[in-house]
Amino acid sequence: MQRPTYGQSPPLHHPVPQHVSTVPQLRSPPPPTAQPQSHGYDGSPYPQQQQQAPQGGNMFGQYGNFMNDPTAQIATQFGQTAFRQGQDYLEKNVNRFVNVSALKHYFNVTNSYVINKLFLVLFPWRHKPWTRRQASDSGAGSGQEAWFYLPPRDDINSPDMYIPVMSIVTYVFLRTLIAGLRGEFKPELFGVVATTAVVLVGLEILALTIGCYLLSISNKSQLLDLVAYSGYKFVGVIVTIVISEIFNGGKGTGGWVGWTLFVYTFLANSLFLMRSLKYVLLPENNNTNQGPMQTMHPLDSRAKRSQRTQFLFAYSYPVQALLMWVLCRP
Amino acid sequence: MTFLGKIIYVTVLILNAIVVLSEDRFLARVNLTPDTHNRSFGTNGVDRSVKYNAIQLIASIRTLTRIPLVPINILIIVYELVLG
C-alpha cells in the first residue's frame, strides 16, 4: 500500500525543555553535548558545537530558542535600559557632591611613586626640589593657557590620595588588631577608631580652612590637596605603633623605643609638610607665565609674609604633634 | 547620646556663643565690629588684614545664623525637656 503523499512536512522540532538555563549564549562555553566525540575538542567548544549543530540539535536549539524568545528579548532590553538609567542617576547625583574627575587625578599613581613617596614621608631631609611640576593645556586657543599640575604618576612632589586612604584603613585595622592581641577586642572598636581618625582629619581641615580665610590665602581647588597632606601623618603613626608594639608590649608612651620613634616620625612628617605646603601658603614666583596658584603681590608687606610663615610653621609642628599624639595613645 | 548628636550640640553651642554677644556693649569696646575698625586698609582681596577678616567672619556668622538658630534652639530645648 502506498503512502499518501502529504505536503511538505513542517520542520521537525525536537522537544525543547521550557525552563531554559540562565547562561547566555555568548558568555560561557556551552556544556558538552551527549556525543561521544567531545573529548578531543576541549580547546574550542564553539566550532565543535557548530559542527554538531545538525546532530545535537536539541542542546543548541535550546540556546537558540532562549535568545529568540521575544519575552527574553524584552527582558534583556529592559535590563539594559534600567542599568543605563541607574548609571545616569548615579553620575548626576555623585557629580554634584564629589568632583569625580578631580578625585581621579589623585588616584593616578604608580608603584614606584608609592614607594618613593613613602620613603619621602619617612625621610624628607635629603630631597631637593620640592616644587610641583606644571604643564600647560596646549589644546586651548591662542593666548588662553590653562595650567594644571602634573598627576602623581609624573611628579614625585604631587600629593595623592591613595597613600592617605590606604594608611587610614591600615591604621584602623592595626588598632583593632592590637586590641585583639591584648584581649580587649569588641566589634564596635572598628567604628570608634575609624570615626576618631576621620573626625580628627575633618577638624584639622576645618581649622586650616578658617586659618586660610583669616590670612586671606585664596586656595583655588586646593581643598583636596590639604586633605591628602593631612592623611600622610598616618604613615608615621602606623610605623610608630607597629615598631613600639614589637619592642615593648606598650604603646608610644612605653619606654625609649616608642618615644624616640614617635619624635622621629613627627619631625619627619612636619618637615615634609612644611616643605610641601610652601607652595600653597607662600607662593613666590612672579614670572610672566602664571601657574594655577596665586602669586604674591610684589607690594605685600613683610608682616603678612611673616604671618603666613608663622601660620605654616604652627600648622606643621604643634598641630601635627597634637594630632599624632592623640592617634598614638593607647 | 549619639555621636552626631554631640557634634550638633557642640556646633549649636558655639554658634550661640558668637551670636549672643552684644554688639554695642561688648564688640564695640573691643573694636570687633565692622564700623569701629575699618576703612583704614584697602578692601580688595590681597590687602585685608587678619583683624578685618576676623571681623567679617564674626559679622557674617551673626547675620546668617541669628534667624535659624531660634527654631533649632527651641527644638533642642524641647528634646532635652521632654525626652530627657
Per-residue pLDDT tens over the stretch A169-204 = 999 999 898 888 888 888 888 988 898 899 889 989
Does A214 sit within 8 Å of B54, measured CB to CB?
A: yes
Report residue B60 as a C-alpha cell.
Answer: 557674617
pLDDT band at B78 (very low <50, low <70, confident <90, very high): very high
Beta strands in chain A (DSSP E): 134-137, 146-149
Distance (Å) from the C-alpha of residue A311 to the closest C-alpha of chain B? 12
Does B57 sit within 8 Å of A214, measured CB to CB?
A: yes
Interface list for chain B against chain A, based on CB atoms closer than 8 Å: 3, 45-46, 48, 50, 53-54, 57
Per-residue pLDDT tens over the stretch A3-47 = 656 667 677 767 766 766 665 555 555 565 544 444 444 444 444
Report residue B46 as a C-alpha cell.
Answer: 590681597
What confidence score (pLDDT) does residue A246 get? 82
pTM for the model stands at: 0.68
Question: Which residues of B are less than 8 Å from A203 in CB distance?
Answer: none
Question: Which residues of B are less than 8 Å from A297 in CB distance?
Answer: 46
| pLDDT(A52) > 80 | no
Tally the domains of chain B: 1
DSSP letter at A102 equals H
What confidence score (pLDDT) does residue A26 get? 58
Buried b (16+ CB within 10 A) or exposed e, A123-161: ebeebeebebeeeeeeeeeeeeeeeebebbeebbbbbbb
Which residue in A195, A214, A218 is closest to B50 by CB distance? Answer: A214
Best mutation target, B10, B53, B61, to test chain A (most A CBs within 10 A): B53
Question: Which residues of B are less than 8 Å from A307 in CB distance?
Answer: 50
Question: What's the distance, CA A206 to chain centroid?
Answer: 23
Report residue B77 as a C-alpha cell.
Answer: 530645648
Question: Which residues of B are less than 8 Å from A216 in CB distance?
Answer: 45-46, 48, 53
Which residue in A195, A300, A307 is closest to B3 by CB distance? Answer: A195
Report residue A203 as a C-alpha cell.
Answer: 577638624
What confidence score (pLDDT) does residue B64 get? 92
What is the value of ipTM here, to two decimals?
A: 0.80
Does B57 sit within 8 Å of A216, measured CB to CB?
A: no
Which residues 6+ apart lie within 8 Å of A147 measured at CB?
A134, A135, A136, A137, A289, A290, A291, A292
Q: Are A156 and A120 in contact (CB under 8 A)?
A: yes
Residue B65 to residue A161: CA distance in whole angstroms: 34
Residue A77 to residue A48: CA distance in whole angstroms: 30
Distance (Å) from the C-alpha of residue B54 to the closest C-alpha of chain A? 6
Q: Does A209 touch chain B (CB under 8 A)?
A: no
Does A297 sit within 8 Å of B3, measured CB to CB?
A: no
Report residue A280 as a C-alpha cell.
Answer: 600653597
Residue A217 to residue B6: CA distance in whole angstroms: 31
Per-residue pLDDT tens over the stretch A110-168 = 999 999 999 988 888 888 888 878 777 654 444 455 677 788 888 888 888 999 999 99
Per-residue pLDDT tens over the stretch B20-63 = 988 888 877 777 777 766 666 556 656 677 788 888 888 899 99
B31: left (phi over 0), alpha (psi -120 to 50) or beta: left
Q: Please give the residue that has the higher pLDDT: either B9 or A318.
A: B9
Interface subset of A 254-313, CB within 8 angstroms of B: 297, 300, 307
Range of the domain at B42: 3-83
Residue A101 to residue A107: CA distance in whole angstroms: 10
The mean pLDDT of chain A is 75
| pLDDT(A268) > 50 | yes
User: In the A/B pair of chains, how many CB contacts fall below 8 A?
Assistant: 18
Q: Please give the residue that has the higher pLDDT: either A29 or A94.
A: A94
Distance (Å) from the C-alpha of residue A214 to the closest C-alpha of chain B? 5
